């Protein structure tokens, strides 16, 4: 775990390297230390592979759980005013509070009310999850919104939940909260998107929420583009259609950052090509092949833009990498 002075303190833990006989004890120890609220299920060999990020005013947990039960008691201690959202990226989970049960499929989430008391989320089979814990006072919705249901299902098709999921994936992948202002901005965006999941009509009236939505949409677009860089047919129209927005709106989101869609795609493709030219795994591939795999259909254009970006030719970069 990083030092306490870091804006984002990160904990990484996995049971993968532990023998099955030692996994339960390790989880119990983390639970007792207040680092990971997870208990092994009786008769199961637990599997946990997670990253936990503590931000000023929120915490985010992501990874894979199997054979475990997440436990919580939000009605006591320092977490008395915390709101929890548990999201299933894949697999199934069961949220339980007294006689109330909520089944979560892929993409679904459950929101746990701050006053609910003891609750648990059972994940017997492997499930990829993202969890968020944030103070209720940070969520800009009317207090009555929290009293509706102690465990509230947010269906996977909810637009705000999809945006929140994509935004959190970007936060976890890039760890952008390297400074206090950035960390505060991340928490603010998460709180606004959280509120939209709970009460889209009230929360949407906030100008701050509108900006958070734009930020999350742009983050989701960038993540999508980065995953599809090797597709030479990648276009603004296809990306926009995949996200249910107009091509004009997509371009406007990039322009708000003084950036163009085409420039972003080009920069990411050049970065990918540079990485592959330096990696021994691709040592037997020709430069033309690498360029093509990174989405460049014209080798001369690739060579020209690559040299303009790095001040060296692809051949020189490869040679220097050894």
Strands 68-73 and 38-40: antiparallel
Alpha carbon 202 to its chain's center: 25
pLDDT in tens, 189-214: 888 898 888 876 655 556 677 888 88
Q: At 187, is the pLDDT very low, low, confident or very high (cuts 50, 70, 90)?
A: confident
What length does the chain have? 322
- Say whether pLDDT at 4 is over 60: no
87-104 tens-digit pLDDT: 999 999 999 988 888 999
**16-30, pLDDT tens digit by residue?**
989 988 999 999 898
Tell me the domains of the chain and their CATH numbers: 9-227 (2.60.120.10), 263-321 (1.10.10)
How many whole angstroms separate alpha carbon 32 and alpha carbon 243?
A: 42
pLDDT (mean) for 129-134: 92
How would you class 303 by CB atoms within 10 Å of its CB: exposed for 0-12, middle for 13-18, buried for 19 or more? middle
Query: How far apart are the two ends of the chain, measured CA to CA in Å?
Result: 35
* pTM listed for this prediction: 0.75
CB 164 within 8 A of CB 171: no
Of 171, 223, 194, nearest in space to 87 by CA: 194
Calpha distance 108→154 (Å, rounded): 6
List the single range of 58-72, 138-152, 280-294 with lowest mean pLDDT: 138-152
């Amino acid at each position: 775990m990083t030092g306490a002075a870091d804006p984002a303190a990160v904990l990484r833990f996995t049971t993968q390297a532990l023998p099955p006989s030692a996994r339960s004890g390790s989880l119990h120890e983390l639970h007792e230390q207040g680092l990971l609220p997870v208990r092994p299920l009786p008769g199961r060999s637990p599997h946990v592979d997670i990253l936990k990020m503590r931000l000023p005013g929120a915490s985010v947990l992501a990874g894979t759980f199997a054979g475990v039960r997440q436990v919580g008691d939000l009605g006591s201690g320092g977490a008395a005013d915390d709101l929890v959202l548990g999201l299933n990226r894949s697999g199934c989970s069961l949220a339980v509070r007294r006689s109330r049960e909520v089944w979560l499929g892929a993409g679904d989430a459950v929101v746990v009310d701050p006053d609910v008391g003891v609750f648990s989320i059972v994940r017997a089979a492997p499930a990829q999850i993202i969890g968020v814990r944030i103070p209720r006072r940070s969520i800009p919705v009317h207090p009555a919104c929290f009293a509706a249901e102690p465990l509230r299902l947010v269906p996977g098709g909810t637009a705000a939940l999809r945006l929140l999921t994509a935004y959190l994936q970007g936060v976890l992948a890039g760890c952008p909260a390297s400074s206090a202002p950035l960390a505060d901005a991340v928490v603010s965006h998460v709180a606004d998107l959280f509120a939209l999941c709970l009460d889209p009509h009230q929360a949407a009236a906030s100008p701050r929420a509108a900006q958070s939505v734009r930020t999350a949409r742009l983050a989701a677009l960038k993540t999508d583009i980065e995953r599809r860089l090797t597709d030479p047919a990648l276009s603004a129209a296809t990306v926009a259609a995949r996200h249910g927005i107009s091509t004009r709106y997509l371009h406007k989101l990039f322009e708000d950052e003084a950036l163009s869609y085409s420039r972003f795609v080009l920069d990411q493709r050049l970065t990918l090509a540079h990485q592959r030219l330096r990696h021994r795994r691709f040592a037997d591939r020709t430069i033309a092949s690498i360029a093509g795999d990174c989405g460049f259909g014209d080798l001369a254009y690739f060579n020209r833009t690559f040299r303009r970006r790095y001040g060296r030719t692809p051949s020189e970069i490869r040679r220097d990498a050894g």
